Structure 1
Amino acid sequence: MPARAAAGAIPLRAGIGLRSPHVAEFLDGRPPVAWVEVHSENYLGDGGPRLAALERIRRDRPLACHGVGLSPGSPQGLDDEHLRRLRALYARLEPGLVSEHLAWCRLDGHYLPDLLPLPYTAEALAVVVRNLDHAQTLLGRRLLLENPSTYLAAAGDYDEPDFLAEVVRRSGCGLLLDVNNVYVSACNHGFDPLAWLAALPAAAVGEIHVAGHAACGEGAATLLIDDHGAAVAEPVWALLDAALRRCGPVPVLLERDTRIPPLAELLAEATRAEAALRAATVAA
């Protein structure tokens, strides 16, 4: 699988997800954000004002691209037209990191509006590895694969960290560690998130995400939902500290996709992520 160094390497700093309500503020000034990340599929058109605005923002700071439509868990394989459009976008923007999700969302040529979970079986592992090999070869770059949040336990041949480790070993991809997803899944299924982190192949982690979540139900029936619609919870901040101790300093990204607050509020949270990253850098 060919690898290519991107022109705008992502620094060991905290960044934020760039969302449409804040684009004007980035264009009118230079908010103190070290780097930004966008959802790749929002920019797959041939041009237009949205892509032009992103290119202007891209000139001021490094950029990462976070895909939501690759569907590496699809047993029918990947959509080569989608891959070609991604390749053209990445050639144009030269993102420092490119990531996707351990999930599937495509069946019989139709895309589903969600990131659907996989059973951690040998069969699913072979599908993911085959699809990642194809994607990384066509894109000419290493992908980071994000661990999902899960809500139902499915029988399988692997637990999640071991499944991710095998995907990394067999495909050569890296990992995007979403610590909010780890916390959400740990609460939903009753496992120890620190033990989960300890089992992860730490050297493969190239980026960390933090985000907020929602709680549905009460008491023992409470289910946490990874909705990216709230401030980062204190237990997730603590898990970020643990993840940075385990993995060493890597870029940290603050996500917010619903109930998006003013930019200043996100910058304050990013400052906290930056402090955690500085502490981990000193400790390393």
Structure 2
Amino acid sequence: MRHDAPPALCPTLPLRFPPPLGGTAGTSFKPAHLPAILAEPPRRGFFEVHAENYMGAGGPPHRQLEAIRKDHPLSIHGVCMSIGGPQPLDRDHLARFRNLVARYQPSLVSEHLAWSTHDTTYFNDLLPLPYTAATLARVCDHIDQVQSAIRRPILLENPSTYVAFRDSTMSETDFLRAIVSRTGCGLLLDVNNVFVSAVNHGFSPQRYLADVPLAAVGEIHLAGHSVQTDDDGAPLLIDSHDGPVADDVWALYAGLIAQHGPVPTLIEWDGNIPDWPVLQAEAAAAQAILDRHAKAPAPEIRHAAA
């Protein structure tokens, strides 16, 4: 994606931290849903957008996002930073990302544990990494650069994977734990990604979730996946984001919230976009689980009359 006259990093631009979202459920924002959203009173929850769709200076995308941001908290989710890539971060891309964060003051900012570039080629995929000391050092350096630029912590999303590297010397959860420890970033825990990777690689999703540093999780993603088979006839799950959340993923999520407590939760739906009420219903299902495990208010203390 090319843009003319990339903005420079502006360290004096004021940044504010909106109030925390708490245990609320949100949805991906799709422009096709804007009329239906605006026709209703402001709803509980939040909206998430992909940063790269709003890196121009103005036009209809920003007018739409401004209309949403007026009454709803926002999460900005980057998909092209290539934090795991071998090359230095693209300075122009980082500048646009930072200015977008400053412009909309989102409650949450996130990126992926993945790479998507090679030399001058950009892939339309979030590719997995070998979990080694060298990769860890590079990823942490890139996260430090992003957090320094936006002057706030980011959340790093665990990937969905279809291959594993023989060179890996640590587990994915140990790798994530080391990143959090070194950089101070948080985690965006994608439960669907955990389930997809678990089926594809034959490990237990429950054990993976037990190994995740849950105290660092600042947001959860839920999404649909498609079921295929590989060349040997074994199940192969694809993180397609084009349908409702699967029952197995809902079960993992409900168990996680019961153990850990409510965390801001997003329903991702990026293909075969349904009508707005369908997406609302998915968010309502997540909200019901969050509310079920919300802390009960402290009992009111009544004092005897003097």
> Which interval holds the TM-score relative to the shorter structure?
over 0.9
Match of 1:146 in 2: 157
Match of 1:7 in 2: 18
Partner of 1:281, secondary structure, is: coil
Partner of 1:87, secondary structure, is: helix
TM-score by length of 1: 0.94
Match of 1:116 in 2: 127
Match of 2:229 in 1: 217
Correspondence list, 1:162-177, <5 A: 162-177=174-189
Deviation at 1:28, TM superposition (A): 3.7
Match of 2:47 in 1: 36
Larger % of helix: which?
1
Deviation at 1:68, TM superposition (A): 0.2
Separation (CA, whole Å) in 2 of partners of 1:234 and 1:19? 24
User: 2:43–2:72: 8 Å Cα contact kept in structure 1?
Assistant: no
Match of 2:142 in 1: 131
1:244 partnered with 2:247:
no
Separation (CA, whole Å) in 1 of partners of 2:120 and 2:170? 29
1:63 partnered with 2:69:
no
Separation (CA, whole Å) in 2 of partners of 1:248 and 1:172? 21
Question: Residue type of the partner of 1:134?
Answer: Q
Match of 1:193 in 2: 205
Bigger-Rg structure (1/2): 2
Amino-acid identity (%) = 50
User: 1:33–1:267: 8 Å Cα contact kept in structure 2?
Assistant: no
Question: Residue type of the partner of 2:91?
Answer: D
Q: Which of 108-117 and 38-47 deviates more? A: 108-117
User: 2:77–2:111: 8 Å Cα contact kept in structure 1?
Assistant: yes
User: 2:188–2:217: 8 Å Cα contact kept in structure 1?
Assistant: yes
Q: Which of 7-16 and 126-135 deviates more? A: 7-16
Deviation at 1:103, TM superposition (A): 0.1
Q: Deviations over 1:258-282 (max 9, x none)?
A: 1111110111111110011112214
Deviation at 1:229, TM superposition (A): 0.8
Q: Deviations over 1:147-178 (max 9, x none)?
A: 01011122211111111000111111100000
Separation (CA, whole Å) in 2 of partners of 1:142 and 1:82? 18
Deviation at 1:21, TM superposition (A): 1.9
Separation (CA, whole Å) in 2 of partners of 1:129 and 1:108? 20
Q: Which of 225-234 and 24-33 deviates more? A: 24-33
Q: Deviations over 1:133-156 (max 9, x none)?
A: 111101111000000101112221
Aligned-pair Cα RMSD in Å: 1.9
Deviation at 1:111, TM superposition (A): 1.9
User: 1:176–1:209: 8 Å Cα contact kept in structure 2?
Assistant: yes
Q: Deviations over 1:195-226 (max 9, x none)?
A: 10111111000000000000112895220000
Deviation at 1:246, TM superposition (A): 3.6
Separation (CA, whole Å) in 2 of partners of 1:273 and 1:134? 34
Count of residue pairs the alignment pairs up:
282
Q: Which runs of 5+ in 1 are unaligned?
A: none
Partner of 1:61, secondary structure, is: coil
TM-score by length of 2: 0.88
Separation (CA, whole Å) in 1 of partners of 2:84 and 2:77? 16
